Amino acid sequence: HFSRYQDEPYLVMKFVEGQTLKAEMTSPATSFDQMLKYFEGIADGLTYAHQQGILHRDVKPSNILVDHAHRAYITDFGLARLMQAGQSTLSQDMLMGTPHYISPEQARGSQDIGTGADIYSFAVILYEWVVGRVPFGLAQDHARHLAVGIREKFRRRAGRQPASNRRCGDAVPCDRTGV
C-alpha cells in the first residue's frame, strides 16, 4: 500500500511466504501457463506502482516473490523514487539497479528516467525466461564492472541489439519460441 504521512511517502507490504521468481523460472515444476500468470501479475503490479507515481528502478527476478497461492509480488522498493519528485536524493555518481536488468537510461546515469525503465527491466526478465539467459551478458566478476568505468560499458551496450533466440539452438524450449 502506497500512502503519505505528514507529506512523506511510505510503502506497507504484507509478508509474503514463498520463493523468488528466479527460483520459479528455473524450476521444471513450473508450467508455461503458470509463468504467464506470474508475468501478468508482475505487469499489474508495475502498472499500479506507476499509477501511484512510484518507479521501482530495480525490477529483477530476485525482487519478485511468488506465494504458495501462486501470486507474484514485486518487492524491495529500496531504490524506488517518486516520479514527481524530480531528481533522486542519491548521488549522481551511483549506478542504481542490477547490471543485467537496468535500462539504458539508468546505465547512462540519467536523472530523467520514467516508467519505461521498469518496463525495460520487466522485458529483460521475460526474455530471460523465454531464452534461458539475459539478453546482454556481463563478465563473472561484477565487482570489477561496478568500478568507476561501468557507465562506459553500458553506453556501448545501449546501441546493440540482443542476441536472437535462434542462435540459442536447443537452449530454448519449443513451447517458448512463439512468445
Cα–Cα distances (Å) from 52 to 48, 110, 138, in that order, read 6, 22, 33
67 noted as active-site residue: no
Catalytic residue of the set 7, 33, 44, 58:
58
CA atoms of 57 and 70, how far apart (whole Å):
24
CA atoms of 59 and 120, how far apart (whole Å):
9
For residue 74, what is the DSSP state?
E
CA atoms of 107 and 124, how far apart (whole Å):
14
Is the C-alpha dihedral spanning 126, 128, 134, 140 positive or negative? Answer: positive
Q: What share of the chain is helix, strand, coil (3-state, %, to 5)?
A: 40, 10, 45
For residue 11, what is the DSSP state?
E
Q: Pairing relation of β-strands 54-55 and 72-74?
A: unpaired
Known catalytic residues? 58
